[in-house]
Amino acid sequence: MRCAIYSIRGCGAGRRLGVILRTSDRATLLTFVALFILTAAAWVAILRAPMGGDDMAGMQMVMAPTARDAVAYVVAWAVMMAAMMLPSAMPMIALYAAIQRNAASAAARTASVAGFALIYLALWAATGVPIYFASLALMAVGPATLAYVTAGVLVTAGVFQLSPLKQICLRHCRSPLGFLMGHWRAGRRGGLALGLAHACYCLGCCWALMVVLVVAGAMGLPWVLVIACVVAAEKLVWGGEWIARAAGVALTLLGLATALHPGLATALRTSWM
């Protein structure tokens, strides 16, 4: 395991991903082709049917939502999270895949890497449950209250972006090598636990931006694109920590402006959709 890790030390995130893919076996490469196809398909689904907060991607919200509505919402949310989050998780999945090159068989390697990746998707999908109930609650509040809720969410997200906790989570997301060196667990169960731990850091890094997407942006397509770019940049681009801080300052200022001018909340939720 350490040999595989040390062999790619010193590469940047994008370059490291390329190095890993060039040195991986066919089974691992097939897994990555599937992941790229999944990401592309998720983006196609979002572009064809944006998940707006008012129509819930085609589902009209009613006062007595059904279990079918909830399942459809969570599925749509999972698709959106896969599109937004999977690209920035690729370096970690790639590094884990490279380490699995010494597994007993191609089937075992593929199963390990696929299970590792599915942990991320499962956790992101699970967050759709509380988001669904939060969306229901938002529909029950009046415009004036919603404006101040929006302002509070923006300021809270901005402060979190500037917090030490954000930097801790971001550091784990930006350094797959360091994470594996400090958290490595052998075996299939160990791999799943490793994937869950890193997925939790990934969620911890981005949860505030996702709340902004739901509350302030009403899940409009432009908000999805902007936040997806911020998530990818702060995790993959050189100086990503400063991108996170810049986003925090921008969100805080936008929240304060919304508190002073409540009508801005309506503009954020409508003009961007």
Compute the distance between CA of residue 178 and CA of residue 19 in angstroms, rounded to an integer.
17
Compute the distance between CA of residue 215 and CA of residue 209 in angstroms, rounded to an integer.
10
Tell me if 172 sits within 8 A of 179, measured CB to CB. Answer: yes
Query: Cβ neighbours of residue 105 under 8 Å, at least 6 residues apart?
Result: none
pLDDT tens digits for 95-111? 888 787 766 576 777 78
What band does 13 get if pLDDT is binned at 50, 70 and 90? low
Residue range of the domain that includes 184: 2-270
pLDDT at 83 (0 to 100):
92
Compute the distance between CA of residue 244 and CA of residue 54 in angstroms, rounded to an integer.
29
Q: List the beta strands (DSSP E) in the chain.
A: none
pLDDT tens digits for 22-64? 545 565 676 678 778 988 999 998 888 766 655 443 334 445 6
Contacts 24+ apart (CB under 8 A), 61-68: 61/135, 61/136, 61/139, 65/136
Compute the distance between CA of residue 169 and CA of residue 198 in angstroms, rounded to an integer.
9
Domains identified in the chain, total number: 1
Percent above pLDDT 90 for the chain: 44
Tell me if 63 sits within 8 A of 100, measured CB to CB. Answer: no
Q: What are residue 65's phi and psi, to 5 degrees? A: -65, 150
Q: Bigger pLDDT: 21 or 269?
A: 269
Which of 173, 163, 164 is closest to 240 using CA atoms?
173
What is the rounded average pLDDT of the residues 139-162?
Answer: 93
pLDDT at 243 (0 to 100):
96
Cα 96–100–101 angle (5° rounding)? 125
Compute the distance between CA of residue 89 and CA of residue 164 in angstroms, rounded to an integer.
21
pLDDT tens digits for 212-269? 999 988 788 889 999 999 999 999 999 999 999 999 999 999 999 999 999 998 888 8
Compute the distance between CA of residue 270 and CA of residue 273 in angstroms, rounded to an integer.
5
